[in-house]
Structure 1
Amino acid sequence: MLTQVLTALQNQDLLRAQFLLKEILASSPNNLDAMHLMGIVCGMMGRPNEALPFFEQCLQINPQDAMLRFNLAKALSSLQRDGDALEHHQQAAKLDPSNQDIWLNYGRSLDNLRKRKEALACYEKAVSLKPDLMEGWFNKGKILGELKCYDEALNSYMRAYQLRPTEPFLLGIILHYKMLICDWADLDGLYEHIQQNLRNGLKIVEPFGFQGISHSESDLLLAAKIFANERYPLRQAGPILAKPIRKKIRAAYLCGEFRDQATSVLMTGVYESHDKEKFEIFALDNGWNDGSVLRNRMEQAFQEMIDISSLSDEAVAELIKNLDIDILVNLNGYFGEARPNVFARHPAPIQVNFLGFPGTLGASYMDYLIADPIIIPPTSQEYYVEKIAYMPNSYQANDSKRIISDRIFSRSELGLPENGFVYCCFNNNYKITPQTFDCWMRILKAVDGSVLWLIEDNVFAANNLRIEAKNRGVSPDRIIFATRLSLPDHLARHSNADLFLDTLPYNAHTTASDALWTGLPVLTCLGNTFPGRVATSLLSALEMPELITNSMQEYENLAVELANSHDKFQAIKNKLLNHLNTKSLFDTQTYTRDLEDLYQKMYDRYQANLNPEHLY
């Protein structure tokens, strides 16, 4: 009968295989092969919990079976019990060291546990055993990217693409990694190919990377919908009936970046400013404690900070229900240490997309998106699945306690000219497109002695940008690269720049508010998408329309004019300094009250059994 089981499995007839195995085990309960196969069938049917007892029972009889260890580890890993799976991965690899699939899955568990260098060694072992193992090259690319070895990561992803060009979202990942290292060879052709395939409904590009190059809100919506449906589909419907009204609303912020990172740089003051008489706020931490000053402030601000990094999605969803959370805020979206599948289980009655990902998540289980009328004008609401909750000023939170160090940097120690006009842009390198760079090089040519000061995110991008400058007739020496410093020191060195040049189609976000906080003017161009309108939103909240342009030609002209017109430039700078403490952008207390007002409106609609609607 086992032969019939194997035939059924070959035909993907899992129900037939399960029926036959039940018959075998009814008459022969200790049949090792049948128990092992029953575990495999349960796993294939998406029921790893039911598979575990079969594998564990077999293991008691035959602990030296490599494939049994392998399948048990896979079942544990699918239940997000990767720590428990490691022992079985290790034993399987010892028993059958030439099996590439064992090394591949061993690496996945290590990867899930953030043991990235150990995971990389496993993936390298897997592809050494089977050079055409697409999954091995793909996973190797992922780890190398997380280790910021972008050039090697791109090579690994390219190898994976050669082996399987139909792999979902892979070509979009390749596009993003080319942008990370400013490798612009055939970038336009690749983008156009991806755009066309996206519009044909193919699983071609991940939303986050695509934001760096797309000017189309409709394309970004389509990318998000396809991605959400494929990777994070709705697991269960959310609550319908309202709960009893409480004196305090319970809000939980779920994030993987409760540490010294951009999201927390912006949000820590908001956590501290929440009205404790009206709100109970919780942190669901999918990251780690970096021991920073910011982390300590956040721990003091929340009623409770709960480590969810080792919990399964199901367990986190159950925790949220047990905490009786009213509003669950997604601070990651598709960025960073995210947990989208928690939100897909709809554990809270109100689910909010906020700050970490500048756009729609394309998922029906996300109820609201925090925005403002500039980044999402009413005419653009159709491009967002969520209902828009409008802040009266800029949507971006800011911490009025952001510290600028007392350290005094000289231009010479930063590699900058003593007298020339210093343009700067401290955005991530993937936001620099060839079109933006063309504009920057024309600006440098028009302003004698000027330089462009950029952040050195990786050496590959720096080298490529120097080459691109030379190809445009600008000396590579006029591109100066800044190494990364602690945030207080980084803010302090802004005083050595004259004008921050923004990027398009993805603006400066946290980097723009960093610059403005130090009194450094930011010149932007209003874009066509959420990420391309953020700097305009920030400058509008500071009432600085002089720094907002509506075309790249206007942007270029103004950048040159401000370098050549001392009086006009100084007037703008003085106005900015005067507005820092009098306008809304850095008023954390008022911002928090406005945010709480939106939370209250969301809660009131829910209590009235009303569906989410745009809130103003």
Structure 2
Amino acid sequence: MEQAIVNGYNDASRLLMENKLDAALAVCLSLLKQAPGNSAVLNLAGSTLYRKKMLPEAESLLLAANEIAPEIEEITLNLVRVLRKRKRIQPAINILEQRLACNPASSRMLSTLGEIFYYDSQFAAAARVFEQLLTIEPGNVDGLFRLACAYQECDMTEAAFDAYWKILALSPDHPDAHVNLAQIYKSLGNHAKSLELFQRAADLVPGDPAHASRALFCLNYTFAEGSRLLEKAMQWADKHTDCLSSDQPLARRKTRADGRIGLGFISADYTRHPVGKLFLPVLKCLDRDRFDVHCFSNVDIEDDMTALYRSVAPNFNEIHHLDDRSACSLIQSRDIDILVDLSGHSNGNRLGVLARKCAPVQIMWLGYFNTTGVAAMDYVLADEINVPPGQEAFYREKVLRLADSFFPYVPSSETAPAKRDQAAPINFGCFNDSGKINDTVLTAWAAILENVPKSRIYLKSRTFSDQWVKNLFLDRAMRLGIAPHRIIFLGPSDYDAYIKDYAKVDIALDPFPYSGGATTADALSTGTPVLTCPFDSFGSRLSASILSACDLDNLVCTSIEDYIARTVRLGTDHSLLTTTTDTLLRNFASSRFCDVERFTRNFEQVLLTTLN
């Protein structure tokens, strides 16, 4: 009998390796009738059921196997894999912690537990587990990388920075360490070093378009000319995507029985990302009688906003687990006529899917402020401000103009904070990503602070929760003429606290050449004037577009010198500041920028023009 079970087990294992799942399961079930308590067969049957996506049944068998043989790591890890897939995170954690209590030196168990904590956004717990792993295996590069990522998510930037450099000392060709270091350098305003590291990662993995995409995205933080950005984007597309359009049959428009138009949106940001928050009101407002709306989600780690998207968009399709070809097939199966990309070259993009032309019309909007360079992308949405006439030559896509603004905005339910006493010293503020604050911006701010007596500037960014980052920033600011006591740092907070922090600010200063978008809208919603200095690039003109849509063109400057002069005047003329703030409060809520219904109807009309 024992030999028969061994032979049957070997047969089932072979069938599983050959992906003959039904046959493998049949053999396992037959063996379990003979030996119902055999942990090896229970484990194999559970693994087969997992492959067949029969998760509750797989969990039941693997729980039984784990109870019989808790000392066998493979069974425990298979059970945890099923629990994770079923989003039963706490039971998975409990099982691993019980196992580690018996064998605290198990590197596989520690690594798996750390991963679970990390992907459940329990980053501090993940860091503790990976620290424990590294006491056992100090040279474990994978464990060190995961620890560095956890540090980064905990805003322990210095610790993450040191860990990534340690990884590169142990493994100089580690592409992901180069990428994450590049992200840190970008947040420090060192775009030259960031670009160097992104490019190194791209060179190490030449077939991976994501690393080169990150380098393209980083160029938007610099004063690179439009011709250079177009050239780099087309080089990227020539290498990574333009060869894919013939890889799959092109989508053709189909006539639907109900006459509706298939409209899809593809994004990695159906989360509490600015794109996720800005797009949701438009999604809710779309005319469902005219459009059959689908969302295609490349979200890796979901949050409460993702759940909200699922409730608003019944046709919510996950594509994170699909390769590009399979994702394209899924989109084509939904008969999408117009596919709108909300990512461009930002993190998590699926330009490899779009390159296969999975919809007859493909449009870029909202998530990226430049050309993708991809031949299969037909249009880019903009308005007259962020892509002025004459700038179309810097886009491979055809530029389509939205009537009123690039996106609409729904003000927070929070009431606008009361402004400070106008007789008190002026407080400036910038709540943008610290990576947008380059030396040219700091030099302009130094001139402003020098000419507005006793003024200070509040800076709020996630990276400013780390003292090392603050010290580096202060050193740079001092070198450019700003005394440390003139800068007040505010760390990250939830959205309501972030909005309330504008009560500390009298005048918001927009960075350049990568201006604010949602941040500018948030400031205006609290009655805080924002001065901006647009350049030629799309990304530098977002705030100008918003201010124009609010009839606040007087806050749009014509040069850096004008930016300094207007800010100084506003900061020293209290009557002018009061008038400007009153006008802002009067204009904002009733502006076309805050009219989601009007924007969405215009948006729909622009989409319809692409089908003519």
Per the normalisation by structure 1, the TM-score is: 0.71
> Which piece of structure 1 moves more, 343-352 or 561-570?
343-352
SS at match of 1:507: coil
1:168–1:198 distance in 2 versus 1, CA, 3 Å: closer
1:135–1:373 distance in 2 versus 1, CA, 3 Å: farther
SS at match of 2:339: strand
Aligned counterparts of 2:229 and 2:96: Cα–Cα separation in 1: 44
Matching of residue 355 in structure 1 with residue 366 in structure 2? yes
Aligned counterparts of 2:387 and 2:239: Cα–Cα separation in 1: 23
1:506–1:70 distance in 2 versus 1, CA, 3 Å: farther
Aligned to 1:478: 486
Q: Is the 8 A contact 2:114 2:126 kept in 1?
A: yes
1:173–1:447 distance in 2 versus 1, CA, 3 Å: same
> Which piece of structure 1 moves more, 269-278 or 160-169?
160-169
Structure 1: which amino acid aligns with 2:314? E
1:432–1:220 distance in 2 versus 1, CA, 3 Å: farther
> Which piece of structure 1 moves more, 495-504 or 168-177?
168-177
Aligned to 1:45: none
Per the TM alignment, residue 362 of structure 1 is displaced from its structure 2 partner at its CA by 4.2
> Which piece of structure 1 moves more, 425-434 or 235-244?
235-244
Aligned counterparts of 2:77 and 2:230: Cα–Cα separation in 1: 39
Aligned to 1:392: 403
Aligned counterparts of 1:493 and 1:373: Cα–Cα separation in 2: 32
Aligned to 2:558: 550
Match of 1:455 among 456, 460, 463: 460
Aligned counterparts of 2:374 and 2:534: Cα–Cα separation in 1: 27
SS at match of 1:423: strand
Aligned to 2:425: 420
SS at match of 1:511: helix
Matching of residue 328 in structure 1 with residue 336 in structure 2? no
> Which piece of structure 1 moves more, 309-318 or 566-575?
309-318
Q: Give a deviation string over 1:212-253, Cα, whole Å, max 9, x none.
A: 632224247626864995699949436343212552223233
Match of 1:190 among 193, 209, 220: 193
Per the TM alignment, residue 509 of structure 1 is displaced from its structure 2 partner at its CA by 0.8
Q: Is the 8 A contact 2:459 2:488 kept in 1?
A: yes
Per the TM alignment, residue 574 of structure 1 is displaced from its structure 2 partner at its CA by 4.4
Q: Is the 8 A contact 1:423 1:452 kept in 2?
A: yes
Per the TM alignment, residue 323 of structure 1 is displaced from its structure 2 partner at its CA by 3.6
1:361–1:204 distance in 2 versus 1, CA, 3 Å: closer
Q: Give a deviation string over 1:505-531, Cα, whole Å, max 9, x none.
A: 211110111122333221111124322
Match of 1:587 among 589, 595, 608: 595
Aligned counterparts of 1:552 and 1:49: Cα–Cα separation in 2: 67
Match of 1:290 among 304, 311, 317: 304
Match of 2:546 among 538, 542, 557: 538
Aligned counterparts of 1:306 and 1:529: Cα–Cα separation in 2: 33
Aligned to 1:151: 158
Aligned residues: 552
Q: Is the 8 A contact 2:217 2:345 kept in 1?
A: no
Q: Give a deviation string over 1:145-187, Cα, whole Å, max 9, x none.
A: 333332222222222333444444754542331342x3x6xx3
Aligned to 2:185: 178
Q: Give a deviation string over 1:546-597, Cα, whole Å, max 9, x none.
A: 2222332322222212222345444544444444356532222221122111
- Larger relative contact order (Cα-Cα within 8 Å, sequence gap ≥ 6): 1
Aligned counterparts of 2:193 and 2:272: Cα–Cα separation in 1: 35
Aligned counterparts of 1:115 and 1:378: Cα–Cα separation in 2: 48
SS at match of 1:505: coil
Matching of residue 439 in structure 1 with residue 450 in structure 2? no
Aligned counterparts of 1:283 and 1:192: Cα–Cα separation in 2: 32
SS at match of 2:293: strand
Aligned to 2:521: 513
Q: Is the 8 A contact 2:442 2:480 kept in 1?
A: no
Unaligned runs of 5+ residues in structure 1 are: 1-28, 43-47, 412-416, 606-616
Q: Is the 8 A contact 2:293 2:315 kept in 1?
A: no
Aligned counterparts of 1:31 and 1:248: Cα–Cα separation in 2: 54
Q: Is the 8 A contact 2:182 2:195 kept in 1?
A: no
Aligned counterparts of 1:392 and 1:430: Cα–Cα separation in 2: 31
Aligned counterparts of 1:339 and 1:125: Cα–Cα separation in 2: 36
SS at match of 2:527: coil
Match of 2:292 among 268, 280, 286: 280
1:61–1:266 distance in 2 versus 1, CA, 3 Å: closer
1:510–1:224 distance in 2 versus 1, CA, 3 Å: farther
SS at match of 1:247: coil
1:115–1:306 distance in 2 versus 1, CA, 3 Å: farther
Aligned to 2:508: 500
Q: Is the 8 A contact 1:372 1:393 kept in 2?
A: yes
Q: Give a deviation string over 1:442-496, Cα, whole Å, max 9, x none.
A: 2112211111022152322334334444455544232223455554554455355
Aligned counterparts of 2:275 and 2:424: Cα–Cα separation in 1: 35
Per the normalisation by structure 2, the TM-score is: 0.71
Instruction: Report the identity percentage.
Output: 21
SS at match of 1:585: helix
Structure 1: which amino acid aligns with 2:222? S
> Which piece of structure 1 moves more, 499-508 or 574-583?
574-583
Aligned alpha-carbon RMSD (Å): 5.1
Q: Is the 8 A contact 1:255 1:332 kept in 2?
A: yes
Aligned to 1:250: 262
> Which piece of structure 1 moves more, 136-145 or 334-343?
334-343
Structure 1: which amino acid aligns with 2:465? V
Aligned counterparts of 1:233 and 1:161: Cα–Cα separation in 2: 33
Aligned counterparts of 1:131 and 1:225: Cα–Cα separation in 2: 41
SS at match of 1:549: coil
Aligned counterparts of 1:224 and 1:67: Cα–Cα separation in 2: 49
> Which piece of structure 1 moves more, 467-476 or 62-71?
62-71
Q: Is the 8 A contact 2:405 2:545 kept in 1?
A: yes
Q: Give a deviation string over 1:185-209, Cα, whole Å, max 9, x none.
A: xx37626856997999986672476
SS at match of 1:452: strand
Aligned counterparts of 2:124 and 2:356: Cα–Cα separation in 1: 32
Unaligned runs of 5+ residues in structure 2 are: 1-6, 29-39, 45-68
Per the TM alignment, residue 502 of structure 1 is displaced from its structure 2 partner at its CA by 0.7
Aligned counterparts of 1:488 and 1:107: Cα–Cα separation in 2: 31
Structure 1: which amino acid aligns with 2:274? A
Q: Is the 8 A contact 1:454 1:479 kept in 2?
A: yes
Per the TM alignment, residue 503 of structure 1 is displaced from its structure 2 partner at its CA by 0.5
Per the TM alignment, residue 327 of structure 1 is displaced from its structure 2 partner at its CA by 2.7
Per the TM alignment, residue 424 of structure 1 is displaced from its structure 2 partner at its CA by 1.1
